Structure 1
Amino acid sequence: MRTKKGHISSAKMTGTVTVTVHRSIFHPLYQKRFMRSKKFLADMGEFKDLVVGDTVVITECRPLSKRKCFRVTEVLERVPRVSELKEEEVIEKTIHREKKHTVHEKKSSSVSSASSASSKK
C-alpha cells in the first residue's frame, strides 16, 4: 500500500478531507529541483477533528467513491485550534492585567509615601 504525507487543504466535506501532497522533481536538462503538488481526497476515519493545516499521513485503500481512494492513518502535527488560541489570549490578558495592577500599586504606594514625607517637613 502506498502512503503519502501532506497538509490538509480543505475540511469542508462530511467525513472527507483534501490533502495536498508536495514532491520534489529534478529536471534532467536544466539540472534544477522544483516542486509539484497534487490533491487527494481522503476519508477521515476515526479522526473527526481535523482542520486545515494539519499534517497527516494517508494510505491507499479500495475506492470509497469516484475520487476518494485514501484514508487518513496518522496525524503528524496539529495546527493550534481557535479555542486554544483564545485561551492563550485570555491568559496573556490576565497576566498583563496583573502586572499593570502590581505596577500601579507600587507607584501609588511610592507616591503616597513621598507625599506623606513632604507633608512631615
Structure 2
Amino acid sequence: MADETPETPENETPEAAAAPEPAAKAEPVVQLTPKERKAAARARRGKRRGATPEERAEARAKKAVARRRRREQEREKAKAAKAAAPPVEQAVAAPKGTGKPKVRQGIVTSDKGDKTITVSIDDARRHRKYQKIVRSTHKLHAHDEKNDAGTGDLVRVIECRPMSATKRWRLDEVLERAK
C-alpha cells in the first residue's frame, strides 16, 4: 500500500492510461422543445428530396423503371407457375331453375282490397340459446283471384312473382272457413 500508483496493464503505456476517454469529450446533448424537434425533422426531410424539379423527375423515372422491371418479373414467374400446374377443367354451371316456392299457412286478417287479402302468419320457434318457445307474427299480402277468402279463414299461400309493391304471394286454397 506504500505505492499509490495505479496499476496499468502490460500492453498499455502510462500515457495512454492517462488520456481521457474520447466519449467523455463529446458535446452535451441539447434538449429541444417538441416544436423545435418537429422543425428539425421537417428540415431533414426537406433535404432528402431533390433540390430541383429535374432531379425529382429523374428520381421518379428511375423508380418507374425499377417498378416495370419488378412487375415484368412477377408476370414471368406467374406464367411459369401457371404452365407448371396441371390444367384445371372448367366446370360448367348447371342452369338454375326456379326452385321450390315457399308455402305458408295463416289466418286472413283483411279482405277489403279487391283480389287482395292480408294474411297473418304465426311462427313458433325454439330459441337457439335459451330453448324457450318464441312466437312471432308476420303479415303479408296475397293475391286472391276469385275473392274467395274471407276474414278469419285459415288459408295456404304460395310464393310467386311480384304482382305489386307489396304482393309476392298468391292464395293456394282455403283450408278452413271462418264460422
Q: TM-score per shorter chain, which class?
A: 0.5 to 0.7
Q: Which residue of 2 aligns with 1:27?
A: 127
Q: Which residues of structure 2 form unaligned runs of 5+?
A: 1-100
When the two structures are superposed, what TM-score results if normalisation uses the length of structure 1? 0.62
- Larger fraction in strand: 1
Selected match of 1:3 from 94, 100, 103: 103
Selected match of 2:136 from 5, 29, 36: 36
Q: Which residue of 1 aligns with 2:171?
A: 72
In 1, the alpha carbon distance for the partners of 2:107 and 2:142 equals 12
- Runs of 4+ residues deviating >3 angstroms: none
Q: Which residue of 2 aligns with 1:56?
A: 155
Q: Which amino acid aligns with 2:119?
A: V
Q: Deviations over 1:34-89 (max 9, x none)?
A: 2111001000023x232111000000111000110000011100012xxxxxxxxx
Max Rg structure: 2
Q: Aligned-residue CA RMSD in angstroms?
A: 1.0
Q: Which residues of structure 1 form unaligned runs of 5+?
A: 81-121
Count of residues in correspondence between the two structures: 79
In 2, the alpha carbon distance for the partners of 1:45 and 1:15 equals 5
